[in-house]
Amino acid sequence: MKAVTIYGTLGPACREQGLLEAMFREGMDGLRLNLSHSGLRESAALIENCRRAAEACGVRPELLIDLQGPELRIGSLAAPLSLESGGLLPLSALPLPPEVGGLLEQKGPGQELLLDDGKLLLRTQADPTGKLSLQVLRGGLLESRKSVALPGCLLRPPALTAADRAQLRLAKNYGVTAVMQPFVRGREDLLELRQAMAEAGCPELRLLAKVENLEGVARLEELIPCCDEIVIARGDLGNAMPLWELPGVQKRIAAACRRAGRDFMVVTQMLDSMTHRPVPTRAELSDVFNAVLDGAASVMVTGETAAGEYPVQTIRYLTRTVRQAEAYRTQADDTEC
């Protein structure tokens, strides 16, 4: 069985070549670039630092681009916005996508709104005149371009944005090796991306399908033959259901991929506490370990390396835990034989 691939995420916290070299020396195989925050041209210097760092470590790096796709995000904020639990703010205070704002007006009072992978929770309420505002049920710091989800609402933006198609045309020039399609709703989204990749001159790139909504879960069997790897993206997937149901759904997706012989990745909050701490929790390490035992072909950290304070330590703990899990799995297999 091949070794599990280790991915970090590019961002301001790991932009220096020396830091990236240290991450590769700790066992990192590649990096993800989130195109919802920055394009390939804008990230050219960062990508070049990654290439040089990998070359210095004798690594041929994977570079995954995570498209914008149908994911909904707030717009740009002049500065991070502190939302206090119990507070109230006008609907206009948040730069919401037009389709989200329109749907909130249509739904009226009582509609919940999840921001930043569900870290923040708001709910619409009406004043005596019927004008909507947002009550903060679970507060925190909101930054630009964070995800938006409306539990119980079905929105159908296009699978690819015009910006996504433009990025695909640049992919080969920047050493991209794989494309991640977010919020896959069915095989049609993946077929559309395959066609767009062919038209952009990069049909050979690997296609990773991110399962992060209930439609993707329900139509998993038709997604598996249309991609090279399934991504169990637990951030928004956890917004789509009660959180206590998420582990079971992750297990069922993993089992379906194993039956079909399809690689899968586990991602989101794997070592989230390391965003601000040099040592992870025991629960996080168990999560990583169990993902490998479930058969994950790859694991990825996101904000931990993109914006965290300890990117090198994060990769160290991730890699060493993965290797311990691989050794345990090999011993278990040998015992069974």
Residue 181: both structure tokens together: 């399609």
Q: Catalytic: which of 5, 73, 185, 319?
A: 73
CA–CA–CA angle 31, 169, 215 (5° rounding): 65
Strand order in the sheet with 148-149: 88-90, 132-138, 120-126, 112-115, 148-149
SS3 82: strand
Q: State yes or no: is 32 an active-site residue.
A: yes
CA 137, CA 120: separation in Å to the nearest integer? 8
Query: Among the options 268, 302, 314, 321, which is catalytic?
Result: 268
Known catalytic membership, residue 2? no
Question: Cβ contacts of residue 82 below 8 Å, gap of 6+?
Answer: 139, 140, 141, 142
Q: Which residues, in sequence order, are CB contacts of 270 under 8 Å at separation 6+? A: 284, 287, 288, 291, 299, 300, 301, 304, 318
210 annotated active-site: yes
Among candidate residues 9, 32, 185, 321, the one labeled active-site is: 32
Choosing from 5, 9, 124, 210, the catalytic residue is 210
| Helix, coil or strand: residue 150 | coil
Task: Answer whether 160's CB lies under 8 Å from 192's CB.
Answer: yes
213 and 237 in contact (C-beta within 8 Å)? Answer: yes
User: Is 206 an active-site residue?
Assistant: no
In three-state secondary structure terms, 115 is: strand
CB of 123 within 8 A of CB of 113?
A: yes
- The residue type at 279: V
Q: Which residues are catalytic?
A: 32, 73, 210, 268
